[in-house]
Structure 1
């Protein structure tokens, strides 16, 4: 497409518009790591399976609040110890990683506490986020376009004229929460371990507001000003 060039009869103005808003998160992700150790492989695997089942049962009990549940890395590895002149298997250590995504935060604090109270279980998170199809993204784009039009109109009015037509509108980028340009996860996520939790009360977890930014570049023609 051939780009139209500005002329005295059709001067142009190019502006950038930004839309920025803060919204409540829609998702909370937590990571759960279950460990087991035994003197032989079957024992370690049996303990790991039992503890992993308890974690999955607790997560699945969240019902509709559970958006997704995924099992990540699984490992069973021997730990060597020296005996005499050679190396011997001293024990076996197992580990499995589970990631859960929740859409309702009502019982999140209680869930994290109960998970951390399980034997040889640690919990990471939460990481707050928006859904990929969140309406916040469309609203940020709308705000960006609105600002671009207002900015271009202000330039035209400063010249004593007005906008005539839109020549081009390009998306300069949408910065979603969690990207390097939008550090909405201020601070490191919390980590919880089973040791010493006991019958601890449910944690009070406050959802962190999410910042979404959209930018557009717009090019307009103006009616010739009387300079």
Structure 2
């Protein structure tokens, strides 16, 4: 009896609460005189850097980094098409990665209230240990899903035996299968912020997703 070739995609997604949060913060001022603008920016950045280092020392923060100070000038135009006096700008972007998400929420709330500070976003993530564990498990379950799908197709055709021929990452079986997202992947989760009754900031990160996709080919008879 001839065999029927069945090609399927197996997939599995893990959804896990965020364990780390990296705050993206920008410090900057603008004004007609360059020196005061630069001085205010460097002073406030120094304050934030000191806080980040202090939190790193006590374990709430795992690491932090800062870009170089950027200074530039421009001559804006008013609504009548007249060029206005020179305006000077200075800015520094930093990242602060928190292991303590409660401290993250408190720090974001207090820091965002400072003049010259903009919280540009938060990247949520898992620890490397958790990510590796979930990635391995997701890959295993994706293969199981491929076997289940192939078996279901075979049963629909009245076939009883399914034998694996090949398994690969999406798009690597040498056919016309459309590649899917690379696996495993850990997309950045978004954060929802809501005001608590106490007036504090309640950060609610979405779960981080670990995805696995495989393409598999089976012979059924």
Give the TM-score, by structure 2 length. 0.73
Q: Which of 28, 36, 46 matches 2:29?
A: 36
> 1:58 maps to what in 2?
51
- Tell me, what secondary structure is at the counterpart of 1:146? helix
Matched with 1:69 is: 64
1:125-204 superposed matches below 5 A: 125-131=121-127, 134=131, 135-158=133-156, 159-163=158-162, 165-172=163-170, 173-174=182-183, 176-178=185-187, 185=190, 202-204=200-202
For 1:205, the equivalent position in structure 2 comes to 203
The structure in which a higher percent of residues are helix is 2
Aligned length in residues: 196
Q: Of residues 203, 208, 220 in structure 1, which corresponds to 2:218?
A: 220
Q: 1:11 to 1:54 in 2, by over 3 A?
A: same
The alignment partner of 2:95 has SS state of strand
Which residue of structure 1 lines up, in the alignment, with residue 19 of structure 2? 26
Contact 1:15–1:148 under 8 Å retained in 2: yes
Instruction: Name stretches of at least 5 consecutive residues in structure 1 with no aligned partner.
Output: 1-7, 191-199
Instruction: Let me know the Cα RMSD of the aligned residues.
Output: 3.1
Please identify the structure whose Cα radius of gyration is greater: 1
Q: Structure 1 runs of 4+ off > 4 angstroms?
A: 79-82, 87-91
Structure 2 CA distance for partners of 1:157 and 1:90, relative to 1, 3 Å = closer
Structure 2, unmatched stretches of 5+, are 78-82, 171-181
